[in-house]
Amino acid sequence: MYAQEQIKPYEGNAHKREQVELLFDNIAPTYDALNHTLSFGFDRSWRRRAVKTLATYNPQTVLDVATGTGDFALLLAHKLKLRRVTAVDISEGMMRVGREKAAREGLHDVVRFQKEDCSCLSFEGGSFDAVTVTFGVRNFEDLDACLGEMCRVLRKGGHLVMLELSYPHRKLWRVLFGIYSKLVMPIIGRLISGDNSAYTYLPETMKAFPQGEVMQEIVLKNGFANVAFHRLTMGICTLYVAEK
């Protein structure tokens, strides 16, 4: 199994899960604006690509893990004829923003937010047609446990769709993105969010996290089949698709 490097947002002995929860509670009010700014708006097109991919499987019930402020969960509800989207996260601060957006968009009956730890989900096995994660996998304290739980709650024949930031695989773009993520992202993140650690921690997790073929193998070992991945926008983002 994957020996995960425990990069934490803050100093101290608290578990990564506790620190990540605190981090996202702190940056929740500015999170959406920062995402769009730091990705130059590409995050919107990446989400649309993931929705288009999921649409081919015609799910009715979706579990959106590490939902944050619910951007992807709400997009799913808008674009697909879903019966229910269950949006889960460990950060109440992020989900508070998500609930407000769902109410404004008239989707509070379709998208339900619930506090959950992905490593021990409260749902019964086979509860969902699809499980999605967008830009949250890097923050898991125990990647194997979380993937195992997502597989457990997915019905047989259901699909996992994950979007995750990654380092470009081509040398020039890798160097340029390394400079941007190390020098520019923390400055902009600090100015907008007011959190000195958030946008230093996030680029560090991008660099350390398994990508491409390595992640493909990890997903396979945790109960999934037919795992494929597609690099998007010079490899800055990777889309993973798998079946149970």
In a domain, 60, yes or no: yes
Cα dihedral value 66, 68, 74, 121, nearest 10: 30
Q: What is the 3-state secondary structure (H, E, C) of 193-230?
A: HCCCCHHHHHHHHHHHCCCHHHHHHHHHHCCCEEEEEE
In a domain, 96, yes or no: yes
> What SS3 state is found at 95?
helix
Q: Domain range for residue 150? A: 16-167+209-243
In a domain, 86, yes or no: yes
Could you report the per-residue pLDDT of 153-179, keeping only the tens digit for each? 999 999 999 999 998 888 888 888 888
Do the beta carbons of residue 42 and residue 237 sit within 8 Å? yes
CA dist., res. 43 & res. 34, Å (int) = 11
* CATH code of the domain covering residue 83: 3.40.50.150
In a domain, 44, yes or no: yes
In a domain, 119, yes or no: yes
Could you report the per-residue pLDDT of 24-73, keeping only the tens digit for each? 888 888 888 888 888 888 999 999 999 999 999 999 999 999 999 999 99
Neighbouring C-beta atoms of residue 60, cutoff 10 Å: 12
Number of domains in the chain: 1
pTM: 0.91
1, pLDDT greater than 50: no
In a domain, 188, yes or no: no
